[in-house]
Amino acid sequence: MATLKFTPLTTTLTDPHLTFTFNFKLRHLRTTQCPLNYARPRLPLFVSEPLRRLATAPTMAVIGDHRTVSSSMIPSQQEKLENSLSYSRAYWPSKSMIAWNVDIGNGSCFLYASKTAALAVTEAGIQGEDIKLELLEDPSGLPEEVTEKFPHIKSHRAFKLPPDIDANILLKCQLAVAAFSFNGVCRYATGLQIPGVLDELYAYDGPLGAIFSKTSIELYLWAPTAQDVRAFMYKNPFDSEPLEIVQLHEINGVWGAAGPSSWEGCYFVYEVTVYHYSTLQIEKCIANDPYARGLSADGKRTLVVNLDSDLLKPEDWDKLADEKPELLSFSDISLYELHIRDFSATDLTVHPDLRGGYLAFTCQDSAGMSHLRKLSIAGLTHVHLLPSFQFASVDDRRENWKHVDTKVLEKLPPDSEEQQAQITAIQNEDGYNWGYDPVLWGVPKGSYATTPNGACRTIEFRKMVQALNRIGLRVILDVVYNHVYGSGPSDEYSVLDKIVPGYYLRRDVDGHIENSTCCNNTASEHYMAERIIVDDLLCWAVKYKVDGFRFDLMGHIMKHTMVRAASQLRSLSKLSDGIEGSSIYIYGEGWDFGEVAKNGCGINASQLNLGGTGIGSFNDRIRDAVNGGSPFGDPLQQGFVTGLALQPNGCDHGGQANAERMLAISKDHIQVGMAANLRDFILTNCDGEQVKGSEITTYDGAPVAYAVNPIETVNYVSAHDNQTLFDIVSLKTPMEITVDERCRINHLATSIIALAQGVPFFHAGDEILRSKSLDRDSYNSSDWFNRLDFSYTFNNWGVGLPPKENNEANWPLYKPRLANASFKPQGCHIVAAVENFVSLLQIRYSSPLFRLRTAEDIQERIHFYNTGPCSVPGVILMSIVDGNAGIQGLCQLDSRYSLVVVVVNVRPDQASLTIPALQTRSLELHPLQVLSSDNIVKNSYFEPSSGCFSIPAKTTAVFVEPRQT
């Protein structure tokens, strides 16, 4: 998921204390597959009908981005009161107080509760209550522990509850508060948000889910607001009648029941009787277990599965911890992002029954596994798998999938609209999606298994992990804890919001679910929401022996959640848990936007907040500097490698002088990134000033550098979001350059990432010139646009215009490029690209100097030359110096080389530059480049007597100084 950009569309009605606001965030770039209505934003189902009519009324006049409403549409005070319980603008943050942003003056305030959800508002106040309690305003306001946890309500007034209340009874009821004037007229009323008091009274660290012993199985469900919970147990996944109905009993908010061991292999659902804020009714919610570890093929029932059963373990599974590839430091990591289906869906060397699934990774002689083995031997350490948990958008039953006739598509012109038309006609009924629409976090996705029922998905997932480990690759899971796909009491994909309505999902000041991530944002600031995230991570680490986690939209998760997760994962040991937790790496997208921006909901896990935690975050600064612009700007805007100022493509960069300035600034950003984006790294900027990395800023004034340790920076230039690297290069470079030049530029961009300090991240296919036919968002574009060809025959360029939904505006740019046969690489280009990528990996792992472990080492050993206002544009020269054993000063890290120099020349011509400080050094071209099949790089040379480097056009050359033997 990439950085997001929103256009707010707001409708506001106000009186002195009531504000009705609809803030719809329309995505310019869709980054997950939640079903947003782009023409007219959908209102939450729980918005009352008068306000629904108001928000969608055709009489609205548009002024800028704000809609004003004709006076005839403004509801009366009575209408506002009647619909006020559809909102939850008051908070119950602790047992002793209510927080509400109203001034009651010399009036009064009351809390109401109804076990049957019979509350209604009239001018006389709220009716239908079973309990009514007077609230007294506390002039001292909310205590610090409340405002620290809930900073968005720090300005709210505090109202004290009577000390003898029974919160256990109240929390199972419909709740509301009402404020009255001195003469008894009801002025304001609203529902309550209750996560704070639930955390205070019911935070729980005991067993949850299905717990197995030798003679019994116990079920535990945390549901403190539920009035009743039953489990419907079925012998088979699609039986119409339950085997038995089990009554659960509550102890302090946790419902439990014990049953026979024969439950193992059965399926069940919970029936939770609970008040739901979205319907204002007591609902009987049918839900899966939030701690489910298995599912039926239709995803509607939870499988009772014991992950510790020997029947679910591949041969030698318990020995896998001893077979894991060696990892001495997180600085040694390199990441390769791969979608499970992309890997093998079109690989003819894989058996048809296994294509697109877990078991394709067990086909050791397939083209895909041969390719991964090649990369592993060269040094690649980790494969990052896109979502592999249970997500909503693909039916797990393959027999239900629809298909297009690819033979027909192959005959169509490369710039035709027809391919995308046929693909999109069935795109929600085929077997493809990225999977960023989670339903249950702790269950492997059934569509990747050969059989989605039973425990097959568990066994096959484990075989996949085992197979990758055995070729030297550790496994990273892409986890999506920032949102869930379903909500409400009846949505088939809703789970958490059925069990404890209004708790797990983050709600805005009106009580509506926040959706800045795309839909149903989760609230890890709540104790049990954080707990289920951490428990889920531990399950994947211990039960599936995965080696790390990539967090989607990590900035929407609280920092304390990430720190707790890292701590608990790293405390795992091989002796007690069967896995070495100290080798588990976690990283994610630290974007700071939406309601969490600037710590709006607490200190969040954003880039600027994570320094010193050892948690990695994606470095979008180096991405944008290398490629040009951003994924949300002008698609033709050029960057450091794509021709900015040196090979103009016709894009308006503000004139040549401004383009040259942009090129110089881009170089600064890249150099900071190559120094692991360390905030305290000191370098000379393009103006000749000595500055820290954090003192170099982006276009909006944010610091470029934010990391404290090198492992906190994940450098990249492409990922699953947005165009592939080859497509970016093809779009931004001038139309008239050759495909040979574009291939070299692709390699240039990759080389910057491969040779930088920090953790390098590569999108699967960067190394084979992968194209998605310029699709900027291929989440639902089927196998056709997402194909990977590990036979190195074709790169998928020119397979039709990409899907209209997210690309149509740029079709006029795309058509002439896709139609131009000279843009399409041949097999020889792809083979050369693979060889060049392998060479880069080998060079990175040829010396520990490319993988420095501390900020101190990077500051002391790395120096950038050719800086300041008189530097040669388009050339980066970085040196990494080593110490010498037995000599005071820097310690020796590399037994072979005492000095390494990297020179990146993005110019269209040869670059020569003299560095007096390196004069007399015995530098020579890296042996791997001397032996390379790239004949151009072999023309790079260094003249010791003058300190002059000469580098061919569009080339990255690495020089080393061998130690004297």
Which positions are catalytic? 552, 589
**Rounded-to-integer distance, Cα 224 and Cα 172, Å:** 7
Helix, strand, coil in percent for the chain, rounding step 5: 30, 25, 45
**How is residue 348 written in tokens?**
């003819």
**Rounded-to-integer distance, Cα 541 and Cα 29, Å:** 33
**Contact, 728 vs 642, CB < 8 A?**
yes
Write out 508-574 in H/E/C secondary structure: CCCCCECCCCCCCEECCCCHHHHHHHHHHHHHHHHHCCCCEEEECCHHHCEHHHHHHHHHHHHCCCH
Q: What angle do CA 407, 408, 410 make, to 5 degrees?
A: 65
Residue at token pair 């425990």: 455
List of E strands, 869-954: 875-881, 897-905, 911-914, 924-925, 941-943, 948-951
**How is residue 113 written in tokens?**
């509760």
**Contact, 889 vs 851, CB < 8 A?**
no
**Rounded-to-integer distance, Cα 764 and Cα 338, Å:** 5
**Contact, 863 vs 674, CB < 8 A?**
no
Q: What angle do CA 80, 192, 110 make, to 5 degrees?
A: 75
**Contact, 421 vs 366, CB < 8 A?**
no
**Rounded-to-integer distance, Cα 782 and Cα 762, Å:** 22
What are the CA-CA distances from residue 637 to residues 625, 645, 747, 780 (Å)?
11, 11, 19, 26
**Rounded-to-integer distance, Cα 615 and Cα 634, Å:** 32
**Contact, 397 vs 452, CB < 8 A?**
yes
Give the residue ranges of DSSP H helices in 141-239. 144-149, 167-170, 195-202
Considering Cα of 838, then 842, then 843, then 849, what sign does the dihedral take? positive
Q: Among 611, 481, 606, 601, which residue's Cα sits nearest to residue 551?
A: 481
Considering Cα of 283, then 284, then 286, then 292, what sign does the dihedral take? positive
**Contact, 341 vs 432, CB < 8 A?**
yes
**Contact, 781 vs 807, CB < 8 A?**
no
**How is residue 650 written in tokens?**
């016709």
| 209: alpha, beta or left? (left if phi > 0; alpha if psi -120 to 50) | left
Farthest-apart Cα atoms in the chain, separation: 97
Considering Cα of 489, then 493, then 499, then 502, what sign does the dihedral take? negative
The amino acid at residue 677 is N
**Contact, 216 vs 259, CB < 8 A?**
yes
Q: What angle do CA 450, 456, 459 make, to 5 degrees?
A: 110
The amino acid at residue 74 is I
Written as one string, the DSSP assignment of 575-607 is HHHSS-GGG-EEEE-----GGGGGGBTBSB--G
Number of helices (H) and strands (E) in the chain: give both, helices first.
25, 42
Q: Which residues are registered as beta bridge partners of 474?
A: 382
**Rounded-to-integer distance, Cα 539 and Cα 449, Å:** 19
Residue 418 DSSP symbol: H
Q: In what order do the strands lie in the sheet with 911-914?
A: 911-914, 948-951, 941-943
List of E strands, 589-738: 616-619, 682-684, 690-692, 713-715
Where is 515: in which H helix or E strand? Answer: none
